[in-house]
Amino acid sequence: MGPNPLVVDVDTGVDDAVALAFALAKGANLLGVTTVAGNVPVDIATRNTLDVLAWLGREDIPVHCGASRPLVASYADATDVHGGNGLGGMELPASTTSRATLAGPAFIIQCAERFAGELDLVAVGPLTNLAIALNVRPQIASQIRRVVVMGGAYSVPGNKTPSAEFNVYVDPDAAQQVFNADWNDITLLGLDVTHRTVLARELWARIPGDADGAAGLVRGATERTFTERGKSGFYLHDPLAVAVALEPDLIQGTQASISVEVTGQARGKTSASENGSGPLVAREVDSERFVRELCQVLELPTMDARAGFENPE
C-alpha cells in the first residue's frame, strides 16, 4: 500500500514552502493544497503556493484558495518575519497554472468524504479553513484519519505575543473549535517542540548559491532570515508538522483538554489540561533525526543536526 492521501493547509510563507518541498521529497500522496490568510494575505499565499509547486516540478497538484480572514478576530499578518512577498523576498518564476475553482474548505470536505478513514490533513497556518469545513460538515471529524496541527505554545512563551503562538493568535476562535472537535486522531505541535528544530546558519551558508530545486528554494527563501534579520537559525515549524504526519514516532506527547483565549491581551493563549483525553500535545521531539532526514531528502549539506543558534525569532 502507498502513503495515505494527504491535504496540506498552508499560509505560504517561508517555512510552508520548505514543508511542501519536504512532503514532495518524501513521496507524500499530496491530493492538493489549501490556502488561508495568515503569514500573508490569502491571495499572496495562493500565488506563492502555485509558484513553489511549479518550482518543484509539481504544477499538477491543485491549489485551493480558502479563507481571506479569520472567523471573528481582526487579521494580522507576519510579513515582518516572512517578508512582504511571503517568501523572504525570493522571486520565483510565475506558475502558469491557475488556482482550482473549488474553495479550500469545500476541498477538505470533498477529500474527507472521498477518502473516509484514509485521509491525513496537516494544517500549518491559522485554522480558519478547517473550522469552516467542520461547521459545514461536522462528520469530517470522524472521516479524516489523522490531523496534525502546527499551532500553540503550551509550556513556553509565544512568538506573536508573550503568551500566544502566531497561528492560534490570528484565528483563536477557529483554533478553539478545531481543538475541541471529536477527531479520530489529532496531534498539536506547539512551539514547545518546533523551537527545537532548527536549520542553522552554518548549514544554510553551505548551500550553493546557484542551487536549484528544493535546495535552491531553501537557500533563497531563508536568506533574509540570516542576512537582513540577522538570525543564526531558522525554525522548521511547518516542515516538522509534515514530518510528523508521515512519521508519528518523531514526537512523544500527552493527551490534554485545550483552552484558547479568544479576546483581550491574552488572545491566542493556549492552555493544556492533561487528563488522558483530547488532542495529543507534543512534548518531546527527535530533532536530530528530523533535521538529518530533512537535509537528506532536500539534498542539503550535511552537518551536526544539533547545531543551534543564539538569536531566536
Q: Read off the CATH number of the domain in which 137 is found.
A: 3.90.245.10
The tally of domains found in the chain comes to: 1
Percent with pLDDT over 70 in the chain: 96
Question: Is residue 175 situated within a structural domain?
Answer: yes
Catalytic residue among 64, 82, 195, 237: 237
pLDDT digits (tens, 9 = 90+) for 76-109: 999 999 999 999 999 999 999 999 999 999 999 9
Query: Is residue 283, in this structure, part of any structural domain at all?
Result: yes
Give pLDDT tens digits for 140-163. 999 999 999 999 999 999 999 999
Within-domain flag for 303? no
The predicted pLDDT at position 302 comes to 76
Is 275 exposed, middle or buried (CB count within 10 Å of its CB: 0-12, 13-18, 19+)?
exposed
pLDDT one-digit tens code per residue, 289-305: 999 999 999 999 876 65
- Cross-strand bridge partners of residue 64: 34
Asked whether residue 312 is assigned to any structural domain, the reply reads: no
Range of the domain at 138: 5-297
The reply to whether 105 falls in a domain is: yes
Predicted pLDDT of residue 308: 53
Any catalytic annotation for residue 237?
A: yes
Question: Has residue 311 been placed in a domain?
Answer: no
Would residue 306 count as lying in a domain? Answer: no
